[in-house]
Chains A and B, each alone.
Chain A
Amino acid sequence: MAKPAVLTHPESLKRPAGPSEYAKDPVNASMTKAEKIALYTKMARIRHFEQRCIRIYQQGKIGGFLHLYVGQEAVAAGTISLLGKNDHIITGYRDHGHGLMVGMGMNECMAELTGRVTGCSQGKGGSMHYFAPDKNYWGGHGIVGGQAPLGTGLAYAVKYMGLKGSCLAYMGDGAVNQGAVHEAYNLASLWDLPMIFVVENNGYSMGTSQERSTAHPGCLAKRAEGYNMAWDVINGHDVYEVRAKTALALKRAHEESKPTVLEIFTYRYFGHSMADPDKTYRDKEEIKEYRDKKDPVLAFEQELLREKVLTPELSLKINEEAMAEADKAAVFADESPDPTVADITKHIYWEEDNRGPDTTSRGTIIFE
């Protein structure tokens, strides 16, 4: 089995050298060596998981859509690495990175992609619909922007229960033109909800560039001003910067119960989904430029090498282990059974799956 190139390829050496200006931010400076290695390891795992997904997709084992997160890893990694037990997240359909970051296993994630009963949603959700509510991860949602009101509801519930927590609702740059997102912005600000809207701006809503899709006052985040909300913009290629600026928004949510819009500039290396041949709306040179000079995983690796937190040997080991883990997950997904025909009609209604003397429903609810 051919292995993809290790991340420490020579191209990475061409990156402009120099430490992140956010390395000394308290939220980063206070990280232990082990925490930094763990964060890098998670980013590398997301990268290798998805690169493994490409091969499985090309083998025809993944149906439907496969929206890859490759290139955007620092966004999920930086933001989620800050969260505590009453902080919740919800996202759109580009949801694998967030799932792995909250601690979902590669096996359950890979098996969901191939539609197996061992998948995180037992083969009922697919790539766009990962869920891990036990890890405060509420999906994985297929309709652009539809998760923004749901996330606002999670923040509402946190506040209603008197907990010091928050909800981060992730979306792409295309989602900012959906009405549901604007309605969520208004409610979050109107009701002072501990909410962070994270706009992962990769420049393209599918094949339509930001310039061709969105009227805005200089940046997408600034639209928050129309709703009397705080906002910030972040270089999403620098995980330290993502952490530093997200920490301020989290503080605002926790201490003041106020919402924030964060626009994080990032880039995806592959098409909108694997069904996108990626030939009509951007140059290969542009992709190469980002890959070579701004890759967030390589950038953090270089950062940690400079800090002498990582060594080349340790980095190689981390990457090889992540690849091996992804390989094993691929085998697990291959060997797992499908759901059965009887499974098709399970998990539709709680009351039906748990029908008994105490349930409130009778009669026919699944029809022939």
Chain B
Amino acid sequence: MAVISYREALRAAMREELKRDDKVVIMGEEVAQFNGAYKVTEGLLKEFGPKRIVDTPISEAGFIGLGIGASMLGIRPVMELMFWSFSYVAFDQIVNNAGNIRYMSGGLINCPIVIRGPANGGTNVGATHSHTPEAILASHPGIKVVCPATPYDAKGLLKAAIRDNDPVYVMENTILYNDKGEVPDEDYIVPLGVADVKRVGTDLTIVAHGRAVITSLKAAEILEQEHGVSVEVVDLRSIRPLDEETILASVRKTHRALLVEENKPFCGVDAQVAYLIQSRAFDELDAPIHRVSSIDAPQIYCKRMEDQQLPDVNRVVREALKVLA
């Protein structure tokens, strides 16, 4: 078991899948010669050559659409978006074409494409580069969305996504790229739609995804050390498909739920999770469900304020104590 970074885990996933299947192609802005805007694809051009690792012009609607078309004929493109924020100029391709082609063709055509890249705030780059579109995209049947929080999950989910026969959108986080963790040396995947209990507890369930998992784990530690509270942290890992049973099992055990995400609150992923809990475990609840999301405004540029706009450890602890009161 090697200890590698989240970035290296993503790269390892792509390298292994490039070796396993010659239909896998890596494509995106600056992924080849430049070695990746965030160095995720570093070294892949040297190892696999320009047929497999392809630099694109700044033309998201064009090259994402091209990848979707190629996937219909059996190529398995892994497209990098420098930021998921840039997906908005390719929305027709990402939603209308990738998401609907199987349905509208009555199952005749598949779209085995992966689109990956960072989707996060907290990097002091302002509103246009800080979008977290997992809830927007997951609201479209036909699309799958995953948000890994650890190197192990990043590698396993990306490998599963590349092997999946449907469009899978992998939302990473630049702040996590240097985080390190244990990753097995042997081949493995993390199936889509399987949540992971990252910390076992008995008094409160925190449901989170992406970097909010890391924030929640830190908060859980403080809650235990300073308040004597045992917190269970459920990492969704996958937004659609969603592992409803793991969420419900945890809530049935702790009887209290706090939902944490870096999205803005309106129609966030946790709105769906809250609905799930109240509809299927209402009688199990000893307190109302609470949420911690980003403060509801376009992402602020000022670094000091942005850190407060995002869910931070203090806010999660404060809100957890309210649920426990």
Give the interface of A toward B (CB within 8 A). 88, 90, 119-125, 129, 131-134, 138-143, 146, 148-154, 156-158, 160-161, 167, 179-180, 183-184, 186-187, 190, 346-351, 353-354, 360-367
Partner of A347, one of B70, B97, B102, B163: B102
Give the interface of B toward A (CB within 8 A). 25, 51, 56-57, 59, 61-75, 92-93, 96-97, 101-110, 112, 141-142, 144, 160-161, 163-166, 189, 191-195, 238, 240-245, 272
**29 residue pairs A–B, Cβ–Cβ below 8 Å:** A120-B106, A122-B106, A132-B108, A139-B101, A139-B109, A143-B92, A146-B65, A146-B92, A146-B93, A150-B72, A152-B62, A153-B66, A153-B73, A154-B70, A160-B25, A179-B61, A180-B62, A183-B65, A184-B65, A349-B142, A350-B112, A350-B165, A353-B107, A360-B163, A361-B191, A363-B241, A364-B241, A365-B240, A366-B141
Residue contact A149 to B69, C-beta cutoff 8 Å: yes
Residue contact A124 to B242, C-beta cutoff 8 Å: no
Distance between B202 CB and nearest chain A CB, rounded to angstroms: 24
Partner of B59, one of A133, A143, A183: A183
Give Cα A350 to B65, complex, Å: 20
Q: Known contacts being A131-B104, A350-B102, A361-B191, is A150 close to B141, with CB within 8 Å?
A: no
Q: Known contacts being A351-B165, A363-B238, A365-B241, is A153 close to B72, with CB within 8 Å?
A: yes
Which secondary structure characterizes the binding site on chain B?
mixed
Distance between A68 CB and nearest chain B CB, rounded to angstroms: 20
Residue of chain B at shortest CB distance from A366? B141
Partner of B105, one of A131, A151, A152: A131
Give Cα A247 to B241, complex, Å: 47
Contacts of B163 in A (CB 8 A): 360
Q: Known contacts being A351-B164, A364-B242, is A187 close to B66, with CB within 8 Å?
A: yes
Contacts of B69 in A (CB 8 A): 90, 138, 149-154, 156-157, 167
Partner of B166, one of A120, A150, A154, A350: A350
Number of A-B contacts (CB under 8 A): 195
Contacts of A184 in B (CB 8 A): 62, 65-66
Of B66, B72, B74, B243, chain A has the most CB atoms within 10 Å of the CB of B66
Q: Known contacts being A360-B164, A361-B192, is A348 close to B141, with CB within 8 Å?
A: yes
The 4 closest A-B pairs by CB, nearest first: A153-B69, A149-B65, A363-B193, A183-B62
Residue contact A146 to B75, C-beta cutoff 8 Å: no
Partner of A160, one of B75, B142, B189, B194: B75
Residue contact B70 to A138, C-beta cutoff 8 Å: no
Q: Known contacts being A360-B192, A363-B241, is A146 close to B166, with CB within 8 Å?
A: no
Contacts of B107 in A (CB 8 A): 122, 346-347, 350, 353
Give Cα A123 to B104, complex, Å: 8
Residue of chain A at shortest CB distance from B51? A160
Residue contact A150 to B73, C-beta cutoff 8 Å: no
Give Cα A187 to B57, complex, Å: 8
Residue contact B64 to A360, C-beta cutoff 8 Å: no
Residue contact B106 to A121, C-beta cutoff 8 Å: yes
Residue contact A133 to B72, C-beta cutoff 8 Å: yes
Distance between B86 CB and nearest chain A CB, rounded to angstroms: 13
Give Cα A129 to B165, complex, Å: 21
Distance between B238 CB and nearest chain A CB, rounded to angstroms: 7
Contacts of A132 in B (CB 8 A): 108
Query: With contacts A88-B73, A167-B69, A347-B105 known, what are 6 further pairs, Cβ within 8 A?
Result: A146-B65, A153-B72, A350-B110, A363-B193, A364-B193, A364-B241
Of B104, B142, B165, chain A has the most CB atoms within 10 Å of the CB of B104
Partner of A156, one of B70, B105, B108, B195: B70
Residue of chain A at shortest CB distance from B27? A156
Contacts of A180 in B (CB 8 A): 61-62, 65, 92-93
Give Cα A364 to B72, complex, Å: 25
Give Cα A167 to B106, complex, Å: 22
Contacts of A367 in B (CB 8 A): 242, 272
